[in-house]
Amino acid sequence: MIVIYAEREGARLDVFLAGETDFTRSQIKQLIDGGHILLDGKAVKSGKAVKKGCEVIINEPERTLDIIPQDIPLDVLYEDEHIAVINKQKGLAVHPAGGAVKNTLVNALLWRFRDLSRVNGEIRPGIVHRLDKDTTGVMVVAKTDASHLSLSRQIAERSVKKLYIALLEGALKDDGGVIDAPIARDKKERKKMAIDNGGRNAMTYYRVLERFEGNTLVEFDLKTGRTHQIRVHAKHIGHPVVGDPVYGFKKQRFNLDGQLLHSCFLEFKHPASGEIVGFSAPIPNDFARVMEIMHNVQRTTHNEGQI
């Protein structure tokens, strides 16, 4: 079972789900026609309008995927009987997709934790939100269904605070601002996202942390949680994330395996206690290595200027 809370209204159910899930339009139609999708507890047709705050439940037909636990190292920042918070490493996809059922975060979670929520079905146990395969940093995992539903509601209500840092190409003109540009799946390449006036509302606040020769270190505060949002918005303003193989420059200055984008802070209301809790994680080694190079170049340039 997958539970999604609508953040806006007006979209048809099939259009809404095409933007919210990885299902194709034909798969969505089959699920709706088969009565596997409920809107506020009722089976409806594809054209039914989704209103803000509505609950959409997807009951996927049973699959025979054999997702096995794997002893993949996890950096667990916190855990109790309700949730776990991890610092996800680079190169680890969050859940199985496209027939690949090994070497994902889900495999690691199944090995590490005895209990995980089942709200999102058998291939996404515990997964409340996602980070891209090569994006690192803080993620919260739900151990119980009640915790999962609470966290999902908070995300839908935009009460979860998510901060990221990234090294961008070029020099940003302003020291801060907001990128407000709707995002939808790319019409030519479904695995990519793109700015689209007919897409879903996407808003990203940014703040420059440090400037270098040819690059800018930026903090991002997400107000929405669209797929690839920071990466697409960074490209949109002409300053893609360094190392991004999809939205970045073809010619890269550094030898990197993926983008320098890190989820550095996550704050939410604990689903059981109601207490506001926050978790942070330092940048990974490859990010730190590039930052050291940036600082060394900056120091050298500064010293030469004093001669």
Q: Write phi, then psi, for 44 (nearest 5 degrees).
A: -135, 175
User: How far apart are the C-alpha atoms of 262 and 131, rounded to whole Å?
Assistant: 9
SS3 230: helix
Pairing of strands 176-180, 161-169: unpaired
Of 22, 71, 75, 132, which residue is the catalytic one?
Answer: 132
Question: What is the dihedral angle through the alpha carbons of 93, 226, 142, 135, rounded to the nearest 10 degrees?
Answer: 40
Complete edge-to-edge strand list for the sheet that includes strand 2-5? 2-5, 55-58, 37-39, 42-43
Is 14 assigned a catalytic role?
no
> In which residue are the tokens 């900056």 written?
298
User: How far apart are the C-alpha atoms of 202 and 224, rounded to whole Å?
Assistant: 6
User: How far apart are the C-alpha atoms of 135 and 148, rounded to whole Å?
Assistant: 22
Mapping DSSP onto H, E and C, the string for 199-264 reads: CECCEEEEEEEEEECCEEEEEEEECCCCCCHHHHHHHHCCCCECCCCCCCCCCCCCCCCCCCEEEE
Task: Name the β-bridge partners of 97.
Answer: 100
User: How far apart are the C-alpha atoms of 5 and 16, rounded to whole Å?
Assistant: 11
Here the tokens at position 126 are 């515990």
User: How far apart are the C-alpha atoms of 262 and 12, rounded to whole Å?
Assistant: 34
Query: Which has the closest alpha carbon to 226: 259, 181, 172?
Result: 181
User: How far apart are the C-alpha atoms of 306 and 304, rounded to whole Å?
Assistant: 5
| Cα dihedral across residues 184, 187, 189, 195: positive or negative | negative
Provide the annotated active-site residues: 132
